Chain A
Amino acid sequence: DAKTTQPPSMDCAEGRAANLPCNHSTISGNEYVYWYRQIHSQGPQYIIHGLKNNETNEMASLIITEDRKSSTLILPHATLRDTAVYYCIASKGSGNTGKLIFGQGTTLQVKP
């Protein structure tokens, strides 16, 4: 699985958009970009995933660059409850090699 690089921490003002970057320059053509978040002492929560196209769901939007070497997770209107560690993971997503290997993630602090 491709290695991902994320900034260790970010701040965001409540009500503003939170843009979390992720670099995955060695991603292969059949690897998806997954985003999860973990609020303190809970299991990770699935946010979104994508292969090539930009994706949007009720939680967030995922913007993947055309060369697929980087992506950005966008939380459109951050709330205090969005304070968490956000993980960007590149994975095939299926089969025995499609494991989710977690890096250190980005700690997002949403401030009032």
Chain B
Amino acid sequence: GAVVSQHPSWVICKSGTSVKIECRSLDFQATTMFWYRQFPKKSLMLMATSNEGSKATYEQGVEKDKFLINHASLTLSTLTVTSAHPEDSSFYICSARVYYEQYFGPGTRLTVT
């Protein structure tokens, strides 16, 4: 149990376009979901926390207008990278929390050309 999926697993897009990444908790309902990004050989960096039905809380330094988060239901959260630029190329990972345990998706590799 406790499976989190992400879609797509990898995406290549042109600079200036927007990309949407989906995160789903498959076998449990998650009141809280989180979005992280990870650069090569670096640790995970928390971007934002989202609760179902309310606005996401962004970490300091993360542009809320660039990284749009929608937490539509207890099993689905989406991250939209708007007007993507090459510096947004990264590994994006979501996680979902149930009780005191947090489970992570497999990640989405975004490459902006």
A25-37: CB near B (< 8 Å → 1, else 0) gives 0000000101010
User: Interface residues of B: mostly helix, strand, loop or mixed?
Assistant: strand
CB neighbors of A among B25-54 (8 A): 34, 36, 43-46, 49, 51
Assess the B57–A96 pair: CB atoms within 8 A.
Answer: yes
A24 to B99, CA, bound (A): 23
Chain B residues with Cβ below 8 Å from A42 are 106-107
Contact residue range for chain B? Answer: 20 to 34
Chain B residues with Cβ below 8 Å from A96 are 49, 51, 57
Interface residues of B (CB under 8 A from A): 2, 4, 6, 34, 36, 43-46, 49, 51, 57, 91, 93, 95, 97, 99-107, 109
Interface residues of A (CB under 8 A from B): 32, 34, 36, 38, 41-46, 49, 87, 93-94, 96, 98-105
